[in-house]
Chain A
Amino acid sequence: MPDSSVTGAAAAAARGYGSQRQAALTGMRHSLGVPALVLGSSYVGFGSLIQGADLAVWHGLFSTFTGWALPGQIILVELYSLGASILVVSAAVAMTNARLLPMTVALMPFLRAPGTPRWRYYLFAHFIAVTGWAAAMRHCPQLPEPQRLPYFAGFAATLWAMCLGATALGFYLADLLPGYITLGLVFLNPIYFMLVFVADARHRARILALAVGAVCGPLLHLVSADWGLLLTGLLAGSLAFFADRLWSRDHG
């Protein structure tokens, strides 16, 4: 056998899932387990929020179609119910979703492959949200470059389609679901995100960023509801980054 187990493993890593098509199908399969179940249930909660705000089902579908990222969608519906102006709504959604900028910058190097038309990156960027992002950050670096974007697209677009269906389902179930259950469904979302990151934490700088961010987030929100999240990212992220560098310098 010319093939040792080490080069065998390297060859398997180089093949990834075999082809772009297989990579997309694998991404789809990965999303159709716990991610679709939990995020789908969260969107059932969102659908019943839409009903509770006296909106129509197509309002909910439109929101999930165009602005997919649950925290921003929830704040939009809440501000709408309060009669907020379009400026207030835009600013609040922009601040809630500002995390998508550093998330996209951090993910893109693991999605790019030579020869991919640029519009595809801009198309699939629409599907960058916490769940698909965390899955792609975990799997894509190990895949051959041509399979990376297909894996992410298969995962995230499937999840998005499930969320559209769940939004409609939640809208029609709203009258049947007691208020406690809706609360539980909405609560699934932050709990799920929390566990995804606890399960995923490996890299020292990023663990530090998560820990300091979790402490700063609520505190800085009390200081400024508008700027709290942005400040949390800049302060806690920088602190974690520099602490990690200092540690590496002092401890080799």
Chain B
Amino acid sequence: MAEPGLLDSAFWPIVLMIAGGLVTYFWRALGVALSGRIDAGSPLFEWVACVAYAMLAGLIARMILLPNGPLAETASADRIAAAVIALAIFFLARRNVGLGVAAGAGALVLMTWGRAWLL
């Protein structure tokens, strides 16, 4: 149990961030340590890569559909529409990532602003 003085102080977030930084670095360091034992041509390696891609896609989809933080206050339909717009512009603009991203984020801003203005 941390004493209330610490919990209220400006150092409490730093304590949390140190803990967050340690668990984050732990995964990276463990990855370096384990990778020396896995042959890059082996099926095990390919499986680990598949797990990495699946976790990334799962996290991205979750951040769009079920976000934490301030995005949770935007409408799900707006976020989904904005993601579809980003994909459409990306392909229409000959796979230009920058344009796609700008269109998607811009669309969400406009839709959220529009809702606030209409209601």
Contact = CB atoms under 8 A, between A and B. Distances in A.
Contacts of B31: 100-105, 107-108, 125, 128
A244 B43 CA distance: 11
Contacts of B48: 102, 105-106
Contacts of A215: 61
B105 interface: yes
A143 interface: no
Nearest to A127: B28
Q: Do most interface residues of chain B lie in helix, strand or loop, or is the interface mixed?
A: helix
Contact of B109 (A37, A125, A184, A211): A184
Interface in B33-79: 34-36, 38, 40, 43, 45-71, 73-74, 79
A104 B47 CA distance: 13
A52 B26 CA distance: 29
A195 B27 contact: no
B97 interface: yes
B117 to A, nearest CB: 10
Contacts of B34: 101, 105
A218 B50 CA distance: 18
Q: How large is the interface on A (under 10, 10 to 19, 20 to 34, 35 or more residues)?
A: 35 or more
B20 A72 contact: yes
Interface in A176-207: 179-199, 205-206
A157 to B, nearest CB: 14
A213 B50 CA distance: 10
B71 A183 contact: yes
A195 B101 contact: yes
A98 B54 CA distance: 12
Contacts of B95: 199
Q: Do most interface residues of chain A lie in helix, strand or loop, or is the interface mixed?
A: helix
Given A59-B14, A109-B40, A187-B108, A206 B49 contact: yes
B17 interface: yes
B107 to A, nearest CB: 9
Interface in A14-66: 34, 37-38, 49, 52, 55-56, 59, 62-63, 66
A172 interface: no
B70 A233 contact: no
Nearest to B2: A86
Contacts of A98: 27, 55
A140 to B, nearest CB: 12
Given A105-B34, A183-B71, A233-B52, A125 B29 contact: yes
Q: Which of B48, B61, B71, B90 neighbours the largest number of chain A CB atoms within 10 Å of its CB?
A: B61
Given A67-B24, A86-B15, A213-B54, 18 more contacts: A34-B97, A59-B17, A76-B16, A101-B31, A102-B48, A105-B45, A108-B35, A179-B70, A184-B109, A187-B104, A191-B101, A205-B50, A206-B53, A209-B54, A210-B56, A217-B58, A222-B66, A233-B55
17 contacts: A34-B98, A66-B20, A66-B25, A67-B17, A67-B20, A86-B2, A90-B19, A105-B45, A183-B74, A195-B100, A206-B53, A210-B54, A218-B61, A218-B65, A218-B66, A221-B62, A240-B50
Interface of B: 2, 10, 12-32, 34-36, 38, 40, 43, 45-71, 73-74, 79, 82-83, 86-87, 90, 95, 97-98, 100-101, 104-106, 108-109, 112-113, 116
